A and B are shown apart, each in its own frame.
Chain A
Amino acid sequence: MKNRPWTTDSRFPILWSQWDKGRENESSVIYHMGTGDTHQLDVLSAMILQIVESGPVSTNELARRLSTQSGLDADDDFYLYIENTLSRFQQLNLISHAV
């Protein structure tokens, strides 16, 4: 299970609006065409979702890319944060495990 990649469903796209992009106070809101729900995302969550959106990706690979993008060390806390975020996205039906 742990190594099954994460994916978004292209039949139910996600719409984005972002402000102060690339800055520390960057903020985003998204609309999911399936659930019709709207969510506010902080800068790291937004990066995670965008990585999954760009194509199926395993948790390990995602951590590696996020670490490069954000300049944060891929330590245990970082890993835990990513796992929590992914499971929250899954609960919100934004992402699922690729079949």
Chain B
Amino acid sequence: MIISSLPFKQFKDRVSSSGISFRVGPFSVNVRSSIDTVISGIYLLYSNYHILDDDFIDFWIHLQQPKNLRRWYRPQVVFNLDGFQPFKPLPLSQAFAFFEWGLNWAVAKHANRYLLLHSAVLEKNNRALILPAPPGSGKSTLCAALSLSGWRLLTDEMALTQLSDGMIRPLARPVSLKNESINIIRAFSKEAVIGNIAKDTTKGDVAHLKADKQAVSDQSCPAPQWLVSPVYTPEAKAVLEPMDKAEMFMHTVNNCFNYNVLGPDAFHATTRLVEQCDCYHFSYSQLDDAIGLFDKLAFES
């Protein structure tokens, strides 16, 4: 059963009482909250996710308004992971984005069966395109556009590379769009479903693009094929240039969440990853050019 099969009223009651459990990639999440924007945000953007009645839950998440007097003049929201608050409260208007960031954090800290890369991953013909990049490189925008152009979205934010076999585990979630990207993606595709905009966050304006049904349900794990370091360069033509393996190794390490924790295992996993992949620098300014180039790459190999 998926979330959209519950009527909104029933969904809302469940989230605000016992919480609702659903599957996100390999993880189970229970979210409890009586905050309207959280409830409606999940109902819109997670409508295709499977509801679980498991007794074992990976992440117990609770978003609530702190019970202090400030709530009367400056309402806030607290993110709580099973009794633990990893972050300071945020303004209430950012509650849904806080859920997304909090869940990212929960996965980043509790999934050491994977080499976790700050990276978008897309798939075509059962091969994975991995785009590790720091914030501000245009990774999410590119990822959103590819996911709206026939590439399967595996993640926009965190690549799960299985330590056991090097395959990429899908973790399809809403794609986080910032500032101008929100309108760029709206203009890019009529199919884009985008949630409410959270204004003036530390990252500027933030909104989330819904992951399509196929991306959410397909749990197959493609093999890594292309490892690409994207850089948005104003006015530039879309160009792929081969990148040295050692250089790509360092780039990957710099975009790894749990490299220090995994230590030698991370070193071996990164080695395998760069050896399995064709490695490229990529600069671009126009989404259409970029997609044309990646389609060509997928077609040729």
Contact = CB atoms under 8 A, between A and B. Distances in A.
Given A15-B264, A31-B267, A38 B247 contact: no
Interface string B226-264: 000000000000000000111101100100000110011
A52 B260 CA distance: 26
A28 B246 contact: yes
Contacts of A41: 246
A29 B260 contact: no
Contact of A17 (B247, B260, B271): B271
Contact of B247 (A33, A36, A40): A40
B244 A17 contact: no
B264 A29 contact: no
A32 to B, nearest CB: 10
A20 B247 CA distance: 13
Contacts of A25: 244
Contact of A19 (B245, B260, B268): B245
Nearest to B263: A36
Interface in A19-51: 19-20, 25, 27-29, 31, 33, 36, 38, 40-41
A29 B263 contact: no
Contacts of B271: 17, 29
Find the residue from A19, A28, A33, A41 having the highest chain B CB count within 10 A.
A19
Interface in A73-96: none
A39 B109 CA distance: 25
A36 B267 CA distance: 10
Contacts of B263: 31, 33, 36
B264 A27 contact: no
Nearest to B249: A29
B84 to A, nearest CB: 26
B185 to A, nearest CB: 35
Contact of B245 (A15, A27, A33): A27
A73 B259 CA distance: 40
Contacts of A29: 246, 249-250, 267, 271
B241 to A, nearest CB: 15
Given A17-B271, A38-B253, A33 B246 contact: no
B277 to A, nearest CB: 12
Given A15-B267, A19-B244, A41-B246, 9 more contacts: A17-B246, A28-B246, A29-B250, A29-B267, A29-B271, A38-B249, A38-B259, A40-B246, A40-B247
29 contacts: A15-B268, A17-B249, A17-B267, A17-B271, A19-B244, A19-B246, A20-B245, A27-B244, A27-B245, A27-B246, A27-B247, A29-B246, A29-B250, A29-B267, A29-B271, A31-B263, A31-B264, A31-B267, A33-B264, A38-B249, A38-B250, A38-B253, A38-B259, A38-B267, A40-B246, A40-B247, A40-B249, A40-B250, A41-B246
Interface of B: 244-247, 249-250, 253, 259-260, 263-264, 267-268, 271
Q: What are the 7 closest A-B residue pairs judged by CB atoms, nearest first?
A: A27-B246, A31-B267, A17-B271, A19-B245, A29-B249, A40-B246, A40-B250
Interface of A: 15, 17, 19-20, 25, 27-29, 31, 33, 36, 38, 40-41
